[in-house]
Amino acid sequence: MHCDCHIHMVLDGDDWSAAIAAHRASPNLELIRSRLESYAAAGISYLRDGGDAWGVSLAAREMARDYGIDYASPAFPIYRKGRYGAFIGLGYSSESEYLALLDRAERDGADFIKLMLSGIMDFDSYGELSCEPLPPDEMEALVRAAHARGFAVMAHVNGDGAVRAALDAGVDSIEHGNFMSADTVRRLADSDCVWTPTFSPVLNAIGAGRFSDDVLRRIGAQLMENTALAASQGAYIALGSDCGAWRVEHPTGAADELRHMSAALGSGAELVLGLGSARIKEKFRRRS
């Protein structure tokens, strides 16, 4: 695989707050350069970043050209204030604030919009999420406004009902997508939406002693089952490692993710992921 469709240049695979501190005053260009160099050396020619509030992914996008890397960035992820995303994104608490963030993303030259529509998994309690998902009508309004400006939408979303609502809202990719029912997998497969399951932050953490291995294994097993089911139904599935998340290192996340995906999809993994990743490149193409 020559791509990673879900990375965080701002994060370092270890301590998120220390990682962000290194860029807080301004993006640390030396650090970004050395990471891009390592990606190029690993043969990776396409990266899609989830964005950050400090301009790190935008700086990386500019520099990536020097390394022959096609780099897509949403500038920053957008979250609703009080919900998941405050550590890395920009928040809104009203429709007008959301529209102002879309204006800012346009000014910043974002390639697409990244939305935080739900919480993250609790790695110590199976099936639990860190907060409530946004209500379906809000998801719909967010996606509609982004699409009206010509942006594709990359959606962070977990939980069966939340993924279904995100699909109904017309998001262009589902990131993570844990805890989907078979019914929701079917709807995903029937849609044009691409799923990026991000196995690495779950499976790479097994045995590290930070979270419950039992919970990590259960989350991973369900993700495997759903990935195989989605692939058998013709869903678009992309390779994205969530690189920068804890225990997912630059640039080896893509190789980790391919290994995990191969465990789920067998020898068909490369073919499935090739199709899904091509779809990501096409949908999330640079706007300028």
| Residue closer to Zn ion, measured from CB, 4 or 242 | 242
Q: Return the bridge partners of 114, or none.
A: 77, 154
Q: In residues, how long is the chain?
A: 288
> Least distance (Å) from Zn ion to the CB of residue 203?
15
> Least distance (Å) from Zn ion to the CB of residue 224?
19
| Non-local CB neighbours of 193 within 8 Å, separated by 6+ positions | 167, 171, 172, 173, 174, 236
> Among 46-54, 67-75, 133-141, 230-238, which window interacts with Zn ion (CB under 5 A)?
46-54
Show the CA angle centred on residue 124, arms to residues 123 and 130, nearest 5°: 60
**Helices marked H in 76-207:** 95-108, 136-148, 160-169, 182-190, 200-203
| Residue closer to Zn ion, measured from CB, 27 or 197 | 197
> Among 57-65, 99-107, 120-128, 237-245, which window interacts with Zn ion (CB under 5 A)?
237-245
Give the pair of three-digit tokens for residue 39.
């990606």
> Least distance (Å) from Zn ion to the CB of residue 50?
5
Separation CA 102–CA 109 (nearest Å): 11
Query: Is residue 117 exposed (0-12), middle (13-18) or buried (19+ Cβ within 10 Å)?
Result: buried
> Least distance (Å) from Zn ion to the CB of residue 174?
12
| Non-local CB neighbours of 124 within 8 Å, separated by 6+ positions | 211, 212, 215
| Non-local CB neighbours of 271 within 8 Å, separated by 6+ positions | none
| Residue closer to Zn ion, measured from CB, 13 or 50 | 50
| Residue closer to Zn ion, measured from CB, 87 or 232 | 87
Give the pair of three-digit tokens for residue 220.
């991973």
| Residue closer to Zn ion, measured from CB, 88 or 180 | 88
> Least distance (Å) from Zn ion to the CB of residue 27?
18
Separation CA 22–CA 24 (nearest Å): 6
Q: Rule CB under 5 A: which of 50-69 touch Zn ion?
A: 50
Q: Rule CB under 5 A: which of 77-106 touch Zn ion?
A: none
Q: Tell me if 4 contacts Zn ion by CB under 5 A.
A: no
- Size of the residue set binding Zn ion (CB under 5 A): 2
> Among 26-34, 43-51, 95-103, 277-285, which window interacts with Zn ion (CB under 5 A)?
43-51
Q: Which of 49, 52, 242, 257 binds Zn ion (CB under 5 A)?
A: 242
| Residue closer to Zn ion, measured from CB, 50 or 220 | 50
With tokens 């009206």, the residue in question is 148
The residue of the chain with the least Cβ separation from Zn ion equals 242
Residues lying near Zn ion in the complex (CB under 5 A): 50, 242
